[in-house]
Amino acid sequence: MKFKLIFLSFLFCMSLSAKRTDEGEVLFNSKQYSKARTVYAALLKQRPNDALYHFRYARCCYELKDLEDAIVHFEASGSKFPARDLYLGELYFDTYRFDQSVAAYQAYISTLKPDDSKINECQQKLKRAENAARLMVRIEDIAIVDSVVVSKSDFIHYYKFSSELGSVSQESLKLSARRIVDKIKYITQRQDRVYYSDSIHGQMDIFSSYKLLDSWSTPVPISSSINTKSNENYPFLLLDGVTVYFASDGENSIGGYDLFVTRYNPSTDTYLAPENIGFPFNSPANDYMMVIDEQRHLGWFATDRNQQAGKVVIYTFVPNQSKVIIRSEDKDYLRSAAQLKTYKKASKIATDTTFTVKEQPKKIKNQIEFVINDSTVYSNVKDFKSDVALKLWNELQSLIQDLSAKTSELKSLRSDYEQIQNDVDKSSFIAKIQHLEIENINLKKLVQLKTTQVRNEENRFLRDLK
């Protein structure tokens, strides 16, 4: 009799368990993940080692954005479900466990057939995880001054930097019914150079232009080492005139837009290979618009990490003169630092002194630097004693401006030539380029000749005064 009762009780439990399993599956398939999770939690109490229950519970946690609990139960589900490694790859990535993310994506890819359509997407995710894992060993230690959450549509208005840095403006560019992007324009303080982003065939690139006498030179793509097949945007030029910060969502990013830095090499007229500036500035979300005010020792960047749609947070920080790397064996601490959950807070004393805006001396009108002879250097056009030399000097400035315009035009033609496929059009461009190259050579000779004439005429006049 006792055995019969036990057997009946067992059958009842089995029947109840099957009923709950069916209920959980119905809720799960209808995407009622909160209710389904409750059912699978009860089932796991009865059968704590059931792989299917762990997998379904983990899926519910994944859909409900309960990342840590999802990881625990995906790990407990074992290797019975290959898709669990795909989910773990994403979850490890989102929680900054990048080495584990790499391993999970590799495990999942190994289960796919060579012609599986999912391979390309998974390899891209693997690449991002590998980038992030590489950058995690060099997390920069920075001090945060402030942070503010603002609307992305006009976030640039909250960058409170000195006008000595130039100006940055923001426009909205509608590329499609569902895609609106920022069109950013940076103009130097002297208003003689502009860097801006614009769309080419739905792709954002960065362009530059120089101020001529009464117009701007033909815009040219800034560099093939900066503009890629992906999107580049949010340019900013430091006061040194050679260091450029920008954002890219290309293959070297962690995810979304990442911040990169490059430098112009005047001797080769090229930019160095852009460098991902790493954590904590970058994240799996979108990070962009780095501005650094070296005079005030302040920096700004924007990110939409952990933000609602349409919102961004702008961080104000203290730039390090040289990169300071966080050294720790505590992986949880490093993950928090990389996510900006742990950071130094800039002291009020530093804020009151270091960050005070200093008035910069205004540039004197007609200021120049021109060597007359071994003992004489003119710093102002008013220093010229000879009217003839001054006239020659003005002619020299016109030639220099003309040369600058021709050089910019030549660069633009060469850039356009690289994109032409038709041989007939190429021949036409070759003729224009060759003609402009000859003009540039002649202009350079004229600049050298006129420079010598200015110097000789002023020296002759000075000798006659003695």
The CATH number given to whatever domain includes residue 416 is 1.10.287
Can you tell me the distance from the alpha carbon of 337 to that of 54, in angstroms, rounded to the nearest whole number? 31
Residue 424: its pLDDT value, please? Answer: 56
Say if residue 266 is in the same domain as residue 303: yes
What the block records as the tokens of 335 is 């993950």
The CATH number given to whatever domain includes residue 128 is 1.25.40.10
As a 3-state breakdown, the chain gives helix, strand, coil percent values, each rounded to 5, of: 45, 25, 30
- Of the candidates 308, 329, 353, which is a domain's last residue? 353
Say if residue 392 is in the same domain as residue 435: yes
Is residue 233 scored above 70 in pLDDT? Answer: yes
Query: Contact 104/110 with Cβ under 8 angstroms?
Result: no
Residue 250: its pLDDT value, please? Answer: 93
Residue 173 domain-assigned (yes or no): yes
Give the domain extent around 395: 367-465
The CATH number given to whatever domain includes residue 316 is 2.120.10
Residue 176: its pLDDT value, please? Answer: 85
Residue 394 domain-assigned (yes or no): yes
Say if residue 321 is in the same domain as residue 399: no
Query: Contact 284/93 with Cβ under 8 angstroms?
Result: yes
CA-based R_g, the chain, Å:
31
What the block records as the tokens of 61 is 């946690």
Query: Contact 147/317 with Cβ under 8 angstroms?
Result: no
Residue 428: its pLDDT value, please? Answer: 64
Residue 73 domain-assigned (yes or no): yes
Would you tell me how many other CB atoms lie within 10 Å of the CB of residue 189? Answer: 15
Residue 361 domain-assigned (yes or no): no
- What is the total count of domains within the chain? 3
| Centroid of chain to Cα 252 | 10
> What phi and psi, each to the nearest 5 degrees, are found at residue 198?
-155, 165
Is residue 439 scored above 90 in pLDDT? Answer: no
Q: Checking DSSP bridges between strand 258-265 and strand 270-271, what pairing results, if any?
A: antiparallel
Say if residue 325 is in the same domain as residue 410: no
Q: How confident is the model at residue 15 (pLDDT cuts 50, 70, 90)?
A: very low
Closest CA to 161 of 325, 299, 31, 334: 299
Residue 359 domain-assigned (yes or no): no
Say if residue 437 is in the same domain as residue 451: yes
Kindly report which listed range (47-56, 168-177, 264-273, 383-392) carries the lowest average pLDDT score.
264-273
Say if residue 180 is in the same domain as residue 316: yes
Q: What is the mean pLDDT of residues 379-400?
A: 88
Please indicate whether residue 336 or residue 357 has the higher confidence score (pLDDT).
Answer: 336
Residue 29 domain-assigned (yes or no): yes
Say if residue 126 is in the same domain as residue 146: no
Q: How confident is the model at residue 345 (pLDDT cuts 50, 70, 90)?
A: confident
Q: What is the mean pLDDT of residues 239-268?
A: 92
Say if residue 157 is in the same domain as residue 292: yes
Residue 417: its pLDDT value, please? Answer: 67
- Of the candidates 296, 330, 353, which is a domain's last residue? 353
Q: How confident is the model at residue 5 (pLDDT cuts 50, 70, 90)?
A: very low
Say if residue 307 is in the same domain as residue 410: no
DSSP string, 147-200: EEEEEGGGGGGG----GGG-EEEEEEEE-SSS-EEEEEEEE-TTSSEEEEEEEE
Tell me the pLDDT tens digit for each residue of 404-428.
777 777 776 676 666 666 665 566 6
- Of the candidates 353, 379, 406, which is a domain's last residue? 353
Secondary structure (3-state) at 292: strand
What is the CA angle 315-316-318, rounded to 5? 130
Residue 260: its pLDDT value, please? Answer: 97
Residue 202: its pLDDT value, please? Answer: 86
Residues 6 or more apart in contact with residue 106 via CB below 8 angstroms: 126
Is residue 347 scored above 80 in pLDDT? Answer: no
> What phi and psi, each to the nearest 5 degrees, are found at residue 232?
-125, 140
What the block records as the tokens of 303 is 């990110």
Kindly report which listed range (12-26, 71-85, 99-113, 168-182) carries the lowest average pLDDT score.
12-26
Residue 13 domain-assigned (yes or no): no
What the block records as the tokens of 69 is 């609990």
263, 265, 270, 275: CA torsion to nearest 10: -30
CA distances from 415 to 204, 317, 407 (A): 17, 38, 12
Say if residue 84 is in the same domain as residue 208: no
Is residue 142 scored above 50 in pLDDT? Answer: yes
Residue 14 domain-assigned (yes or no): no
- What is the average pLDDT score of the chain? 86
Residue 352: its pLDDT value, please? Answer: 39
Tell me the pLDDT tens digit for each residue of 349-374.
344 334 333 333 444 567 777 888 87
Kindly report which listed range (41-45, 92-96, 139-143, 340-344) carries the lowest average pLDDT score.
340-344
Place of tokens 């003009």: 439
What is the CA angle 441-442-448, rounded to 5? 95
Say if residue 286 is in the same domain as residue 306: yes
Residues of the chain above pLDDT 90, percent:
58
Q: How many residues does the chain have?
A: 466
Preceding amide of 280 cis, omega within 30: yes
Say if residue 132 is in the same domain as residue 156: no
Please say whether the dihedral angle defined by the alpha carbons of residues 74, 78, 84 and 88, taken in this order, is positive or negative.
positive
Residues of the chain above pLDDT 70, percent:
87
Please indicate whether residue 20 or residue 298 has the higher confidence score (pLDDT).
Answer: 298
